[in-house]
Amino acid sequence: MTTNIFPSYQRIASRIPLAFSRRSFRSCEKYIILLVFITFGLVCFGTLFFLPEFRNSATRSESVYRVYDHFKRAAPELLIPPPPLENSRESPKLLRHEMDTQGEDPHLVGDREKFRAKIEQDSELKVLERPDIGRFYRKTSTPSNQGKQGHIYESGIVTIPPAISDHYPLITNGEDGDPDIRERRNKIKEMAQHAWDNYVKYAWGKNELRPISKRGHSASIFGTMPLGATILDGLDTLYIMGMEKEFKQARDWVANELNLDQMANDVSVFETNIRFVGGLLSCYALTGDVMFRDKAQQIADKLLPAFQTPTGIPYAIVNFKTGMSKNYGWASGGSSILSEFGTLHLEFGYLSDVTGNPIYRSKVEKIRQVIQKTDKPNGLYPNYFNPKTGKWGQHHMSMGALGDSFYEYLLKVWIQSNKEDNEVRQMFDDAMEGVFKHMLQTSTGGLMYFADLKFDRPEHKMDHLACFSGGLLALGSKTLKNHMSDKYMDVGKGITNTCHESYDRTYTKLGPEAFRFTEGAEARALKSTEKYYILRPEVIESYFYLYRLTKDPKYREWAWEAAQALEKHCRVNGGYTGLKNVYTEDPQQDDVQQSFFLAETLKYLYLIFSDDNLISLDEWVFNTEAHPIPIKGVNPYYRESIV
């Protein structure tokens, strides 16, 4: 008997193996084999559905539509237009080509035609405009075919030119006709280059620069993390000054490095809004690069948890990661601050318009409703408001710290709405009536100033911050003729003059943080804690408005005095520094280059020495950090969302 190590399939009958004589399978074996084949077939068939082409076709087509929809909303111009109709203007070209290719397979001819049309379309794209960096459009220029296309440039910047426009506003360059003025402006640009280059060299990605110790710096308003505050705040200045290379570098940092998701950082809602959201929205308006809009939206979304209060008045501080929000411990029994919650409307309203998401506007409209219906002592707005009880805190009022930009936005939101939001214009006029009646003073030496009010008593002190109001009032006067217009202009000029005096009465010719009016001194700081200058813009800002609105050359002269003083006392090898005491011959330096130096101080200086059409006040409104926001219905760079 042969032994076999392998199992035998011999049949056994009564324990006796039967001879293996069968030629076919038994029926149950056939079933098993059939079953194996069927299973194999099914597995093969099922695998087809895991191939990329077939996988999840329903969700796939939905996601294709989602992407399409996203593009349609974000950049309708990027979608390839439908092929020309037979009778369209393109058809002669097709007919001519059809004649050339008679006798060929009509399908191949059709494909070749489509391919050719695509190439033509692509080469048309190549001749479209480069980004607007370093160029400018005059009001008289006519719209080109770029009005209908989205552009992707070599730099990777995507721009959507204004859709409907009969002119392009001037947004870069804009030189003045006078060669001396041009020379001054070149100097300001060189200052910006110095400030920027040193930030890049020593503090890239950090919030601010320490120009003497040559390293990064961060103020508490930015929390503890490096958010590139100088980049976000300085971007539009680089753009307007035509610093193309620097703008591109800053833009790429925002696109690739700025990621707030992982940042467990407590930040100021107000500062984040005016500097970051405002700066990014300006860049979106100026360039059409949707990256800026999307980043602005991501940042604004991080601020939204701060609005979850019983009244809807936001808290001052929010944590980017957790959304935990709170107010400053020092602010009148847990109050929010007027100048902070009152300085969101311009950016949040515009953000809703460019994203098509109404949530941001709804938040700021709620703020307005709440303060509208709360009684105002003597028609004035106190600096503190409790977001839980809906009541004002201490009755302190100021055109400077804690109040300032609230008043600014009452006027500017009206301007930005193309003067249609009359409610807010009325609020501005009413507020100014109260301010003029209770806070406006004239010193014995004839200087006009806004005193602070503390429980109905004037404190005869004015902050450097309050010096923005000279320009604001001039803007109010020029944008609406009403019973207040002349007064606005008089007070605007008077306040700007006083602020200039506060500079002129120092050794350095730069102004102190706050100045007082007493019997012995006018427009001078008296306390050592008020004698510093931290590169603030407000006085120069008012020179800018007054120059543009009155054309009085003295404002340019005053601006030039300030620029020279900055060069003399604040410029160091590593950038620009603030000063600890503006009254001393050789002031100590504070070793901080504030982000608003690039955003505001240098931008306003540059614009004073430019043509008036560069960021025209008829088309743009500056947010409180000098980031220009387009005026609705007037400025084709508004780029409102079409959804």
| Binding-site ranges for ligand DMJ (CB under 6 A) | 405, 465, 536-537, 596, 600, 624-625
- Write down the least CB distance from residue 163 to ligand DMJ, Å: 32
- Write down the least CB distance from residue 427 to ligand DMJ, Å: 18
Distance between CA 316 and CA 280 in Å, rounded? Answer: 21
- Write down the least CB distance from residue 406 to ligand DMJ, Å: 10
- Write down the least CB distance from residue 535 to ligand DMJ, Å: 8
Query: Does residue 620 sit in helix, strand or coil?
Result: strand
- Write down the least CB distance from residue 63 to ligand DMJ, Å: 42
Closer to ligand DMJ at the Cβ: 467 or 491? 467
Closer to ligand DMJ at the Cβ: 502 or 624? 624
Distance between CA 461 and CA 516 in Å, rounded? Answer: 4
Hey, what's the torsion of the CAs at 470, 472, 473, 479, to 10 degrees?
A: 150
- Write down the least CB distance from residue 598 to ligand DMJ, Å: 12
Closer to ligand DMJ at the Cβ: 409 or 638? 409
Count, residues in the chain: 643
* Residues whose CB falls within 8 Å of the CB of residue 598, separated by 6 or more in sequence, listed in order: 192, 195, 196, 199, 230, 233, 234, 237
Q: Which of 347, 513, 538, 625 is catalytic?
A: 513
- Write down the least CB distance from residue 599 to ligand DMJ, Å: 8
Residue 230: other Cβ atoms inside 10 A: 31
- Write down the least CB distance from residue 632 to ligand DMJ, Å: 22
DSSP-assigned beta bridge partners for residue 12: 17
* Residues whose CB falls within 8 Å of the CB of residue 124, separated by 6 or more in sequence, listed in order: 145
Query: If you compute the radius of gyration of the chain from its CA atoms, what whole number of angstroms results?
Result: 33
- Angle, vertex CA 96, rays to CA 94 and CA 100, nearest 5: 110
CB contact at 8 A, 124 and 254: no
Residue 589: other Cβ atoms inside 10 A: 16
CB contact at 8 A, 361 and 397: no
Closer to ligand DMJ at the Cβ: 181 or 539? 539
DSSP-assigned beta bridge partners for residue 522: 517
Q: DSSP string of 523-572?
A: EE--SGGG--B----HHHHHHHHHHHHH--THHHHHHHHHHHHIIIIIEE
- Write down the least CB distance from residue 543 to ligand DMJ, Å: 15
489-503 burial by CB neighbour count: b if 16+ within 10 A, else e? bebbbbbbbbbbbbb
609-626 burial by CB neighbour count: b if 16+ within 10 A, else e? bbbbbbbbbebbbbbbbb
- Write down the least CB distance from residue 208 to ligand DMJ, Å: 12
Hey, what's the torsion of the CAs at 296, 297, 301, 307, to 10 degrees?
A: 80
In the numeric block, which tokens belong to residue 32?
Answer: 């098993």
Residue from 443, 543, 457 nearest 499 by CA:
543
Backbone angles phi, psi at 53, to 5 degrees: -65, -30
CB contact at 8 A, 207 and 93: no
Work out the angle between the directed axes of helices 91-100 and 106-126 (0-180°, nearest 10). Answer: 130
Closer to ligand DMJ at the Cβ: 313 or 465? 465
Distance between CA 520 and CA 524 in Å, rounded? Answer: 10
Closer to ligand DMJ at the Cβ: 185 or 536? 536
Closer to ligand DMJ at the Cβ: 223 or 537? 537
- Write down the least CB distance from residue 343 to ligand DMJ, Å: 7
In the numeric block, which tokens belong to residue 387?
Answer: 């977001």
Active-site residue flag, 129: no
Residue 112: other Cβ atoms inside 10 A: 13
The letter for the amino acid at 375 is D
CB contact at 8 A, 516 and 461: yes
CB contact at 8 A, 399 and 453: no
Residue with tokens 């509208």: 372
Mind telling me the catalytic residues?
A: 513
